[in-house]
Structure 1
Amino acid sequence: MRTHTPQRLTRRLDDERLARIAEFGTAPRERSSRHLSQLDREWDVERKLEANAATLMLVGVALAATRSKRWLALAGVVPAFLLQHAIQGWCPPIAAFRALGSRSRNEIDAERTAIKALRGDFAGLELEPGAAERALAAAGAR
């Protein structure tokens, strides 16, 4: 997914994540734990794509049944996008979700792992300048 996202957008998402992670270098454990709970509830781009597709298909079928059969086109286009995503790992709605700040599961998990490392869940990581970058690298995100 990152390969199909414009580099400036990927950089923006990475910079935002890095800034969030850097805040937790000296944060109280409770604050880190609250943020980790938020990350657990965050919908990744795949989940948003699935929910959006299901909603659009249901709306298309409902409108076709009550208004005009032409609405079946909507219910037909959406699965084509899902198939494209399954085959290529990308489809047009993904670009829109990414532009709105949606992240992949891997990006969310990397932030979670980095925050856990900074919180002290993993031994051997020193909290000095650049610790957030090293935590992301350890999580395989950079």
Structure 2
Amino acid sequence: MMLPATNRRAENHTSEEINREIARQTQQRIAYYTTKSPQEISERIRELDYEWDIERALESNASALAFSGIVLAATVNKKWLILPGLVTGFLFQHALQGWCPPLPILRRLGFRTAAEINEERYALKALRGDFERIISRDGVYGDHHAAFAAAQQ
């Protein structure tokens, strides 16, 4: 059995309509920043550092539900243990296949993958001019330190 690539598995299990809408919104945000100052672009990049990706949303959702099930089992009825059992099973399925029941809901709510967030981040860095510093005027690439520094900003 071949496991899907980690970087695109959530997108692969999301409807094309939702993927297109997420991409459209990202492109609109990038277009908005084409007329903004480097400081405003930097602020947006800082905001992206705090945006929750789909993996973080799924993990927090699963852990909250599993913990709730354990508390309910301890205080109300042992039958509540089925909840953490189901949730951890779905989380394991997501780890292997890239799909679980909350995925379509969270994607529809606009949660993006880390790759989608990084696409916006690097487009904004290009607008800000970060990558111009690693290419000399004659088109020859600069050193690896400059490239690494541009990618980290």
TM-score by length of 2: 0.79
- Name the aligned partner's letter for residue 88 of structure 1: Q
Task: Summarize the alignment of residues 1-142 of structure 1 with structure 2, pairs less than 5 Å apart.
Answer: 1-123=10-132
Please give the secondary structure, in 2, of the residue aligned with 1:122: helix
Per-residue CA deviation, residues 81-105 of structure 1 (Å, 9 max, x unaligned), is 0111111111111111101000000
Aligned-residue Cα RMSD (Å) equals: 1.0
Look at both structures and tell me which one has the larger radius of gyration over its CA atoms. Answer: 2
- Identical aligned residues as a percent: 47
Q: Which runs of 5+ in 2 are unaligned?
A: 1-9, 136-153
Residue 71 of structure 1 and its aligned partner are, at CA, apart by 0.8
Matches of 2:11 and 2:83 in 1, distance apart?
27
For structure 1, the residue ranges without an aligned partner over 5 or more in a row are: 125-142
Return the alpha-carbon distance in structure 1 between the equivalents of residues 43 and 21 of structure 2.
24
Residues 38-91 of structure 1: CA deviation (Å, up to 9, x unaligned) = 000011000111111111111000001001111111010001101111111111
In the alignment, the residues of structure 1 paired with residue 23 and residue 48 of structure 2 have an alpha-carbon distance, to the nearest angstrom, of 15
Q: Is the 8 A contact 1:25 1:118 kept in 2?
A: yes
**1:20-48 deviation line (CA, Å, top 9, x unaligned):** 00111121111111110100001100011
Runs ≥4 residues deviating over 3 A: none
Aligned residues: 124
Other-structure match for 1:132: none
Give the TM-score of the pair, scaled to structure 1.
Answer: 0.85
